Structure 1
Amino acid sequence: MSVRQGQPAMGQPDMGLAARRAARLSLYALFEKQCRLHPERTALAYQDRSLSYAGLRQRAERLAALLHGQGLKPGDRVCILSENHPIFLELSLAALRLGIIVATLNWRLSGRELAHCIALVEPKTILVSTRHRASLDGIGPSGNLLEIGAALEQQLDGPLPTLPPMPESDTEDGLFIIYTSGTTGLPKGALLSQRAMLARLMVYVTDYGVDGGDTFLAWSPLFHMASVELGLGTLLLGGKVAVLDGAELPVICDYLEREPLSNLIFFPGMVEQTLAYLRLRRPQVKRLKKFGALADLFAPREIAEMTALLGVPFTNTFGSTETGMPPASAGRLAAGVAPTDFAKTESLLCDVLLVDEAGNPVPDGEPGELLMRGPTLFSGYWNAPEATEEAFAGGWYHTGDVFVRRPDGRLDYVDRRKYLIKSGGENIYPAEIERVALLHPNIAEAVVVRRRDARWGEVPVLVVAAEGEAPAAEELIALCRQELAPYKRPKQVLFVPKGSLPRNNTGKVIRPEVESWVAAQPTEISA
């Protein structure tokens, strides 16, 4: 007997409207539960003030009433442009209460990029801090403007409002629009649903043991996925969020010694400063469940020293704005050891497939683009149907990242699929050469780009910045000769001052700019 598609099988109940409604879970209801269970528990800390769960709920509902009074209804967008401030999380909760979507603007963007991001989502209201108000000058009007300051604070501490009934919540309702870096063009807005938010929170719970007894230290920009996502998630679990206006190392170490922390990350550009402070302070860490991020961005010696000073392993992650912590962020590197193996461990709540350029699965040991399925995935790019269709072709999310699967199931990161060097018919992925260069104790930064070559079509060029005395180019070539196949060895080594490599607003090296600079240098074949 066949069963028509969409009809329940014999004996299986038909999930009617009432059953489907009962199966829904409102994220705002999860927050309200914490307010009922722990009304006096500290929810937010910022500078010298703190806010209880009961107090946070009152401020979030006053903000929701203010936005509702400006005409915002379910599905409308509100932008925020601000340094780290509790208003990010108050706005996130107000958005859940009203069913609206928060677009987090990156204050590092240029005026042209900000104008694009605002026009893309057509907000009815923009919240902006005094510090970044001037960034909106010259940008055409787009809805109401609310300045984050004394006047708004007075409204958020005023009488309790009367709000409209809670809108019917659906797991696919949008919650955040977070902008991707835009290294190849203007930023795209990745839409994160309530379903994705809840699933990403569950990954933190299952893979790292995060719970309501933890404090999340929100020092990295709250306009970024990693900070606002776990910040809101912590409040849904009943934990505490401490908001810092940047990497205030003395304050961070105070928290490390005083409170159990869920997550702490540092970025490559701040490692030297961080290590110098940690050597002096040598904090006695109370508890830290997750430390670090994409290990490939750090020199092995840096990972060894940071983890030794803190006494915690390094989380070897691989995720993105579009995917959350999945697909491969469950692995850890031992504390106090310079890693030589950066293989990634698949996260829970996701399915992973590696495919060749024709979309066919590749065997173990062969490089392939990583495709992913799972509930943590974003919903698509806002107002960009073609980009969304391309990203989800065939019912999988195409990450654009190339991996090799080992027989034990772990994944070796190779490089971005869209930037590779084709030399004499062979594919060369820059990250393979960069990792070898960073093994040298005097190399702080390394990037590999392509250069036109009459014989091979393209050849790899290694651009490095030294820490202290620079090694000879021949020494780096010899190191690559030991570690890499002959066709992968860089044909030239060029040195630049430390910190001079061009990077985008998320810290990634802008390869096209490096490539243009390399093309203008004298050609010297070194290998």
Structure 2
Amino acid sequence: MSKPHDLGTLFDDLVARRVGTRVVLSRPLDIAPDFGTSYDMPAVAALVRNVAGWLHAAGVKPGDRVAVVKPNHWDYVLIACAAVRVGAVPALLSDQLAPHALEVLLERLEPALLITTRTVLDTARAHGITLIARAGATVTLEGRYPDTINLERLWGHEPPPPSTRDDDDPLLVVHTSGTTGVPKLVVHTNRTLVLGLAGAESTRLPIVSSRRRDTVCSAISYSHGRAVPWTASVLWLAPREVVIIDSADAAETVLREHPPTTLEALPSTFVRWRPMLEKPDHPLRGVRLFISTFDAVHPPTVRAFLAATRRRPLWVQVWGQTETGPLTFRFLTRRSLAARDARHPTTRNLGRPAPGRTRLRVVDPRTFEPVPRGIPGLVLAKTPTRCVDYVGEHDRWLAKTDGEWWNTGDMGLRTRWGSYLMLDREVDVLPGQSCVELEDVLEERVTNVVECVVLATPGRLPQPVVVTRDGHLDPAQWRHALRDLPALADPVLLTWEQIPRTGTGKVRRMELRAVLRAGQDTFGTGRWT
């Protein structure tokens, strides 16, 4: 076997390949709180088999859906592997979702089993929502809870033999970020997720692939669709060590004990880790490869991390979606970021489509006819790793398909050199401009800005919302930053915690509008969110 092929037996296959990678965790797993923070492949394989035994004892059958809602950690992936092993379809839901959104998603899923925590159930109950009523049965990970299965009753049961399924049958359900409302439940298959996404990434390539001597660090959302193919592909390449960070907070200790040579993190995590770089002995100075996906990363953040290493590092910027996987790649270096182009910052150029796998085209959002290079429009993608449905919203999935083409809902343009510039989500569009580009420029020019969000509303000036390091914004520096920009409303200064976010750290712009009492009107239609 040259590539991962079966999620249910992934870790057994890694053991058979004699993969010697050690996994180091920033805290113990929620499914194994007493088993420490260091695992080899046989130990992980045994844990997955044990969880498969739990599921079987709980009555999970082939074809059932198993919903998981818990704090962010790598055991989302391990539970998914165990569920696939018994023939079920795991559905990974972030515990950062609002209770009403969780209720809607569970209604659509109709899971045979819900794996969750008392905190999740109590939070929902405080909002008048009984989540356990939306599942056939419920297990809580950290102790007994009324009307749920006692986890202790499930321990020690032998799992059934690994189940098999067709490569085009549903394998995994994950959800989109939900920046504009209730997330969509995205259905992937073995062909799209394992053979497609994980298979492509497990091909050993110069520079960008994990090397056997690497310490690979991941600090992402493990309920996200990225986590499963990342796990399968990075372990298939057998680096020396994999470090799993479950939270941007309290990560420095484990990073110092296990300094990474490659690092993939949420954009919001990179932002929160920037102060760490100011220490001369910070633990990221040996990183050779940074990887960002999930959301936009602004130029000052990229520049800070590239400048803080003692090597010649490379930053890989990936644009993609939960429904498609990666679509474009761009390599950034210290040199490519040296020239500060305030008109169109470097990180808005997302590069070119993945060669041989992905095609993109830009169309008029009203007629869907292709537009010339340099003209903004909706970006459509054609890729073999496109999801196969939305659970409970098949019509919505159909509305985003045009034959083999997928409507990303993003506005962008193709440059004369064939790369793609991303402007905004269609629902957040600012006619003739780009909210994301304005955010890039303002973060570039105002030195103590941690994050800037620009909201576009018909009949009003674009509204900047600013988070700064010290809670203050210098009026003179702000005015100077606006010197050649379109007119903007006066900035609103908020703290990091006051900005509504998704489980992947993205700003929930519609909820932010509610915080500001700015109304829900936008220039976009929102038809393709």
TMscore range, shorter length: 0.7 to 0.9
Supply the distance in 2 between the matched residues of 1:24 and 1:305 (Cα, whole angstroms): 35
Among 136, 140, 153, which residue is 1:143 paired with? 136
Cα shift at 1:38: 1.6
1:494 equivalent to 2:503? Answer no
1:478 equivalent to 2:483? Answer yes
Q: Structure 1 residues 254 and 339 mapped into 2: Cα distance closer, same or farther (>3 Å)?
A: farther
Determine if contact 2:412/2:423 at 8 Å carries over to the other structure: yes
Q: 1:504 maps to what in 2? A: 501
Determine if contact 2:19/2:238 at 8 Å carries over to the other structure: no
Cα shift at 1:217: 3.3
1:195 equivalent to 2:191? Answer yes
Cα shift at 1:235: 3.9
Q: 1:523 maps to what in 2? A: none
Supply the distance in 2 between the matched residues of 1:462 and 1:30 (Cα, whole angstroms): 46
1:69 equivalent to 2:65? Answer no
Please, what TM-score do these two structures have when normalized by structure 2? Answer: 0.79
Supply the distance in 2 between the matched residues of 1:100 and 1:214 (Cα, whole angstroms): 34
Q: Which moved more, 1:437-446 or 1:76-85?
A: 437-446
How high is the sequence identity, in percent, across the aligned residues? 22
Cα shift at 1:123: 0.9
Supply the distance in 1 between the matched residues of 2:315 and 2:21 (Cα, whole angstroms): 30
Q: Structure 1 residues 64 and 515 mapped into 2: Cα distance closer, same or farther (>3 Å)?
A: closer
Q: 2:174 maps to what in 1? A: 178
Letter in 2 for 1:89: V
Looking at CA atoms only, which structure, 1 or 2, has the larger radius of gyration? 1
Letter in 1 for 2:361: L
Q: Structure 1 residues 49 and 344 mapped into 2: Cα distance closer, same or farther (>3 Å)?
A: closer
Please, what TM-score do these two structures have when normalized by structure 1? Answer: 0.79
Supply the distance in 1 between the matched residues of 2:318 and 2:101 (Cα, whole angstroms): 29
Higher relative contact order (CA 8 A, sep 6+): 2
Q: 2:364 maps to what in 1? A: 356
* Residues 306-342 of structure 1: per-residue CA shift (max 9 Å, x gap): 2211342322221221222x21134334378475422
The residue correspondences of 1:20-99 to structure 2 (distance < 5 A) are 25-28=5-8, 30-38=10-18, 42=22, 45=25, 47=28, 48-85=36-73, 87-99=75-87
Determine if contact 2:289/2:315 at 8 Å carries over to the other structure: no
Gaps of 5+ in 2: 29-35, 144-149, 520-529
Supply the distance in 1 between the matched residues of 2:223 and 2:446 (Cα, whole angstroms): 34
Supply the distance in 1 between the matched residues of 2:306 and 2:416 (Cα, whole angstroms): 29
Q: RMSD value over aligned CA atoms? A: 3.4
Cα shift at 1:389: 0.4
Cα shift at 1:413: 1.0
Supply the distance in 2 between the matched residues of 1:243 and 1:466 (Cα, whole angstroms): 28
Supply the distance in 2 between the matched residues of 1:212 and 1:192 (Cα, whole angstroms): 30
Cα shift at 1:121: 0.7
Supply the distance in 1 between the matched residues of 2:19 and 2:4 (Cα, whole angstroms): 25
The residue correspondences of 1:24-423 to structure 2 (distance < 5 A) are 25-28=5-8, 30-38=10-18, 42=22, 45=25, 47=28, 48-85=36-73, 87-129=75-117, 131-135=119-123, 137=125, 138-141=130-133, 142-149=135-142, 152=151, 158=156, 161=158, 163-164=160-161, 166-198=162-194, 199-205=196-202, 208-210=208-210, 214-238=214-238, 241-247=242-248, 248-254=250-256, 257=259, 260-261=261-262, 263-268=263-268, 271-276=271-276, 279-283=279-283, 285-293=285-293, 296-298=296-298, 300-310=299-309, 311=311, 312-324=313-325, 326-334=326-334, 337=338, 340=341, 341-342=346-347, 343-345=349-351, 346-348=353-355, 349-357=357-365, 358-422=367-431
Supply the distance in 2 between the matched residues of 1:359 and 1:187 (Cα, whole angstroms): 25
Determine if contact 1:301/1:338 at 8 Å carries over to the other structure: no
Cα shift at 1:255: 5.4
Q: Structure 1 residues 490 and 509 mapped into 2: Cα distance closer, same or farther (>3 Å)?
A: farther
Cα shift at 1:163: 1.4
Cα shift at 1:402: 1.4
Supply the distance in 2 between the matched residues of 1:203 and 1:339 (Cα, whole angstroms): 34
Which is helix-richer, 1 or 2?
A: 1
* Residues 84-107 of structure 1: per-residue CA shift (max 9 Å, x gap): 445323312212322321111211
Q: Structure 1 residues 283 and 81 mapped into 2: Cα distance closer, same or farther (>3 Å)?
A: same
Cα shift at 1:168: 3.5
Q: Structure 1 residues 52 and 412 mapped into 2: Cα distance closer, same or farther (>3 Å)?
A: same
Supply the distance in 2 between the matched residues of 1:24 and 1:228 (Cα, whole angstroms): 11
Supply the distance in 2 between the matched residues of 1:260 and 1:436 (Cα, whole angstroms): 30
SS in 2 for 1:75: coil
Supply the distance in 1 between the matched residues of 2:153 and 2:77 (Cα, whole angstroms): 18
Supply the distance in 2 between the matched residues of 1:504 and 1:444 (Cα, whole angstroms): 15
* Residues 360-385 of structure 1: per-residue CA shift (max 9 Å, x gap): 12221111211111122222211111
Supply the distance in 2 between the matched residues of 1:127 and 1:238 (Cα, whole angstroms): 30
Q: Which moved more, 1:304-313 or 1:145-154?
A: 145-154
Q: Which moved more, 1:264-273 or 1:382-391?
A: 264-273
SS in 2 for 1:200: helix
